[in-house]
Structure 1
Amino acid sequence: MSNQLRVHAALFLVTLIYAANYSLSKDVMPVYMTPFGIVTLRVLGASSFFALIKYFVAPQDKITGWADNRRSILCGICGIGVNQLLFFSGLNLTSPISASLLQTIAPIVVVIASAILLSEKITLPRVLGIAVGAAGAATLILSRNAQAAVYPHATLGNLFILANATVFGLYLVLVQPLMRKYHAFTVLARVFLVGAIIAVPFGWHDALTANYASFPLKIWLEIGYMVVFLTILAYLLNNWALKYASPALLGVYIYLQPVLAVLIAVGLGKDHLTWGKAGQAALIFLGVWLVSQKPKAAQVPAVAAVQNE
């Protein structure tokens, strides 16, 4: 299997894992566990796993220098701590489809951050894409639909998801130099340690006081899914992909996640797709497509995308 094919296979698997989570998390929150409680279990499980694997796989590899250490701390704050708290808080308040659509704003943030931090050029199509994508996100966040009774705080939840996509887009740009310089487990062990320090104080009490004895097998399996697949496997595959693709080169996978999320949510009866949401999705997709276009003089054949949850 060629390296390019492996990248595509990894990204498709990550996309499927993330798409399913929008609906599966709704079974757990808020009846069995709070959003912050789930985040605590996720980051503790993942930070322990990556620290252990790093010890055996790359014991001598260490992040050195003030600049790289500072960058790794920022990655832990943006990519794990703040990111996870915002995502599950938002998903708890809004619908699976709205959350999955707003996640696609991340590539627009990546392009803006890349222009500021990596001096990538912002062309006219990208400026238009930013404007169109922002318009689609704004209408989605502010819209009120028939599900308002089910999600009375959907606007706040949508804002949390938008903030989550923003900090994760910044993380993708910040972490790229580290992933190309150090072993993947070295980077992941560090960022999850920092993320745990940020997130655990918010959810420690909720994780300790949850009524685990009342959890049916289905809930235990879904929590295990969120810890093992959604956190450990997805982050590992995402960060591995960053070694072979620029964070600004976001392609078809960023569109595929909400499509799969919609199919899963509708199939499980967790949400409903309306014409209004379809129009908002079209605006966001158009915006992401425009900002993903590289200037002709700097085009790179590889196309990949990394996603967030």
Structure 2
Amino acid sequence: MNKQVQVHGALFLVALIYGSNYSIAKEVMPTYVGPFGLIVIRVVSAALFFGIFSRMVTKEKIVGKADNLRVILCGVTGVAVNQLCFFAGLNLTAPINAALLMVIVPVVVLLFSAILLRERVSKRKVSGIVIACTGALLLIYNSRGEATTGNIWGDMLIILNATSFGLYLVLVKPLMQKYKAITIVSRIFTVGSVLVVPFGFNQLLTPDYSSFPTTIWLAILFMVFAVTIIAYLLNTWALRYANPSLVGAYIYLQPVMAILTAVGLGKDVFTLEKALYALLIFAGVYLVSRTKQRLPAKQVS
């Protein structure tokens, strides 16, 4: 099979996995497992897998106080705060709202790059930030009523999740230039697992797991192995052959997949208002990312 076809197939599967996660996670939360208990299952499982995998493929160690401190900060922003806010927010709001709001991650990356890395922000990018934020704020504002499928507090937590993940992408960049990706990921998941356990330990012990139907176990396995492990491995492999613009294009496919999945499973309704807000968000992100600003290739969600 042609290498480019394989790359497109891998990136499409990643987008499908991430897009499906919004609705599949809603099947489990909160009826069977609370959002924080689900985080413990996912993060600890991923930490064990990546820890074992990293020891098998490399003996690399992170050296120096500065790099180790940065790894801890990456674990806080990229795993702990990111996961806690994402699942808590998704537990409250609609899958489509969450998927659309997560598209602003490149905008957040640009803002933190300008603040922390002193990168220049052009007028076009500023316009993109304003337009994307307007779309996000309108979507949140529209979630106030009881008749809507969204939830204002859930939407705010998703925004906080996107902000935390955007900061993580800026913080992790110097580490990725010095160490192998599997080394960094295994360390940040280790840090993240230590931080999330206190939040979700009680929710982890509460459920009667013996009463779970097969579909719920399959949903949990999907979130652990497909969303966290398989998607990461596929993404890492594809990035060896794909250019950033191609990866960026598939990032925008994720909310499309989320909308199709949510509507198909009857978990949400895609209204005309949401479509208009989505256009504002996409237009803003397009203006931000159409220059050389590199978009994130993967979301830890």
Using structure 1 for the length normalisation, give the TM-score: 0.89
Return the letter of the residue paired with 2:275: A
Q: What are the within-5 Å matches in structure 2 for residues 144-293 of structure 1?
A: 144=143, 148-149=146-147, 154-238=151-235, 251-293=248-290
Residue 204 of structure 1 deviates from its aligned partner by: 1.1
When residues 131 and 15 of structure 1 are mapped into structure 2, their CA distance, relative to the original with a 3 A threshold, is: same
C-alpha distance in 2 between matches for 1:132 and 1:106: 14
When residues 175 and 13 of structure 1 are mapped into structure 2, their CA distance, relative to the original with a 3 A threshold, is: farther
C-alpha distance in 2 between matches for 1:246 and 1:127: 25
Q: Matched residue pairs, number? A: 301
* CA shift digits 1:74-114 (9 cap, x unpaired): 11111101100000000000001001000001010011122
Structure 1: 5+ residue runs without aligned partners?
A: none
- 2:129 aligns with 130
Q: SS at 2:177's partner residue?
A: helix
C-alpha distance in 2 between matches for 1:204 and 1:46: 16
When residues 276 and 116 of structure 1 are mapped into structure 2, their CA distance, relative to the original with a 3 A threshold, is: same
Correspondence 1:30 to 2:22: no
Return the letter of the residue paired with 2:52: L
Quick check: 2:42–2:223 contact (8 Å CA) kept in 1? yes
C-alpha distance in 2 between matches for 1:190 and 1:238: 18
- 2:141 aligns with 142
Return the letter of the residue paired with 1:32: Y
When residues 203 and 41 of structure 1 are mapped into structure 2, their CA distance, relative to the original with a 3 A threshold, is: same
C-alpha distance in 1 between matches for 2:179 and 2:5: 23
When residues 131 and 230 of structure 1 are mapped into structure 2, their CA distance, relative to the original with a 3 A threshold, is: same
When the two chains are superposed, the root-mean-square deviation of aligned CA atoms in Å is: 2.6
* CA shift digits 1:161-206 (9 cap, x unpaired): 0000111111112222222321222111100011011111100111
When residues 87 and 241 of structure 1 are mapped into structure 2, their CA distance, relative to the original with a 3 A threshold, is: farther
Residue 7 of structure 1 deviates from its aligned partner by: 5.4
C-alpha distance in 1 between matches for 2:57 and 2:264: 41
Correspondence 1:72 to 2:71: yes
Q: What are the within-5 Å matches in structure 2 for residues 40-59 of structure 1?
A: 40-58=40-58
Residue 68 of structure 1 deviates from its aligned partner by: 1.3
Identity of aligned residues (%): 53
Residue 115 of structure 1 deviates from its aligned partner by: 2.0
C-alpha distance in 2 between matches for 1:2 and 1:118: 39
* CA shift digits 1:116-174 (9 cap, x unpaired): 2333221111000000011000011111477x3575x8100000000001111111122
Using structure 2 for the length normalisation, give the TM-score: 0.91
Quick check: 2:37–2:200 contact (8 Å CA) kept in 1? yes
C-alpha distance in 1 between matches for 2:182 and 2:25: 27
When residues 174 and 246 of structure 1 are mapped into structure 2, their CA distance, relative to the original with a 3 A threshold, is: farther
C-alpha distance in 2 between matches for 1:181 and 1:244: 20
- 2:11 aligns with 11
Residue 3 of structure 1 deviates from its aligned partner by: 7.6
C-alpha distance in 2 between matches for 1:2 and 1:65: 42
C-alpha distance in 2 between matches for 1:237 and 1:170: 23
